[in-house]
Amino acid sequence: LFVNASEASARKIPDTLFGIFFEEINHAGAGGLWAELVSNRGFESGGSFVPSIIEPWAIIGDDSSVIVSTDLSSCFVRNKVALRVQVLCDIEGANICPGGGVGVYNPGFWGMNIEQGKRYKLVFYVRSEESINLSVALTGSNGLKKLATTTVVAANVSNWTKVLVLLEAEGTDPNSRLELRSTTKGVIWFDQVSLMPLDTYNGNGFRNDLFGMLKDLKPAFLRFPGGCFVEGDYLRNAFRWKETIGPWEERPGHYGDKWKYWTDDGLGHFEFLQLAEDLRALPVWVFNNGISHNDQVDTSSVLPFVEDILDGLEFARGAPNSRWGLVRAAMGHPEPFDLRYVAIGNEDCNKPYYLGNYLKFYSAIKEAYPDIKIISNCDGSSKALDHPADLYDFHIYTSASYMFNNANHFDGAPRSGPKAFISEYAAHDDAGNGNLLAALGEAGFLIGVEKNSDVIEMASYAPLFSNTNDWGWKADAIVFDSSQAYGIPSYWMQHLFKESNGATLLNSTLQANPSNSLIASAITWRNETDKNEYLRIKVDIFLTVIISALKTYTI
Ligand code: AHR
């Protein structure tokens, strides 16, 4: 490799080149990065119908001691379902239940991680015509091992009453559950039951270990909240930012029909912006443009969608006394968020109404926020776009060798006009899994991205997370359960590129490149902590050897 260190041939890599893409897929947020431990906290996961689905809530007791149902008596207007627990037990006419009482428990998202010495904030809403005597506990998965207990006694809860309890764990169990038991006869309603560890990143609700793995990547941007999650299989189930802001208790939650699970939307529009800020990454908001996988809004009717997005931009960027800035300020963030990028839809370029809808959003946003960079779903890498845009989106999921061989894809991209945002890339084996070979293919591709960073502004791997209990999409950078997490090779591969943002790309040439199996780049950067200048040379070797006529082995 010949590296030319002369300044004349060097070029600055964009500060934004490598970032991350968070999608609510594989329980990445609900039961993942968002530290809420209660699953289906508002009993709403079956929608606003009764009888409702209360799973994974389950009953403590038997048919003769407790009857559990749902009704629409909640005090919250947008999520009316409440849990009705009828405690029947009456030992010897004394209105007393056996043992520690009967009631319900929640096992969280495949077990709650409760850790000794840590504190947990439990909030729930309760109502009853009787005085209540509740036993609240964090226990092991079978209810026997007690990790934290307390009693809630109240003489008058005839109106919905908020209860807040701090629990300190005396033991550790990654497979714990939350129990709510009554020791006396009567009917009790519960709603919006939340259990959050106090120990989250900056107190902002992000699970510390998972947040740390993101932070370690030094991402320049955070694209959110999807992907297909943004579109939905049907528009009625798409992510609607207004339904995800304000007090968590009042959020209706929604069923993400593409990835087939319910989210309480504790991780909402505000929290995504907060996440970006905490990561010191620029937020990139992908919004629904009136198009889902199976239905779409005709351009002549798209105006309400456009207005809704302008409101969302005001929520992020407006002055604290503007209509939506006021809502943001009330949530604890009077300063505007640094939102500079939006994507109009996801993978919708070929849908009949895309271009028409896109242009409506584009002109309205540019008029109100001329500085915001707008990302089109249409690929502009092989020919110029036929519509205005600041960036174009590019997705690539493929085999390791194809990924490596695509390192030069952008060599022929137009050198003027919109730049590329490779917002989703990943290599995988035939079964869809990531592995070391896939990471080597991706590394080759990213070296090509560095070399073409005059026309590529951003790139991010996808998907970012998977909970091992909902591994729907297999190649994911970070895999976790309730208490542990690891990065697959593709995650660690990204660490090799985290110094590239804003670095200087030196002109480098391979003197020999047998079978085009090599790709290399050289960067220099200054470390602001130790004030040293560094040089990193990356060489990726990807050699395919035909071992027999039938099989291709890659080494
Ligand atoms: O990353 C998983 C999915 O792949 C995204 O939701 C979508 O944009 C793409 O098809």
SS3 labels along 168-199: ECCCCEEEEEEEEEECECEEEEEEEEEEEECC
Q: How many CB atoms lie within 10 A of CB 159?
A: 7
pLDDT in the model for residue 13: 98
Mutate-to-test residue for ligand 1 from 258, 397, 476, 478, highest number of ligand atoms within 8 A of CB: 397
Report how far apart, in Å, the C-alpha atoms of 381 and of each of 300, 394, 408, 422, 423 are: 30, 8, 11, 10, 14
The one-letter amino acid code at 110 reads W
Closest ligand 1 atom to the C-alpha of 228? 6
pLDDT in the model for residue 547: 40
**376 neighbors 349 (Cβ within 8 angstroms):** yes
pLDDT tens per residue, range 277-335? 999 999 999 999 999 999 999 999 999 999 999 999 999 999 999 999 999 999 999 99
Output the residue whose Cα is nearest ligand 1's atom 2. Answer: 463
Ligand 1 mean position to 227 CA, how many Å? 5
Ligand 1 mean position to 43 CA, how many Å? 29
Output the residue whose Cα is nearest ligand 1's atom 9. Answer: 227
pLDDT in the model for residue 47: 77
Cβ-count burial 33-43 (b if 16+ within 10 Å, e if not) = bbbbbbbbbbb
Burial (Cβ within 10 Å: 0-12, 13-18, ≥19) of residue 1: middle
pLDDT in the model for residue 553: 40
Task: Give the chain's residues under pLDDT 70.
Answer: 544-555
pLDDT in the model for residue 327: 98
What is the SS3 assignment for 291?
strand
Dist. CA 215–CA 218, nearest whole Å: 5
Q: Which two tokens stand for residue 198?
A: 């106090």
DSSP string computed for 530-546 = T--EEEEEEEEE--EEE
Output the residue whose Cα is nearest ligand 1's atom 5. Answer: 227
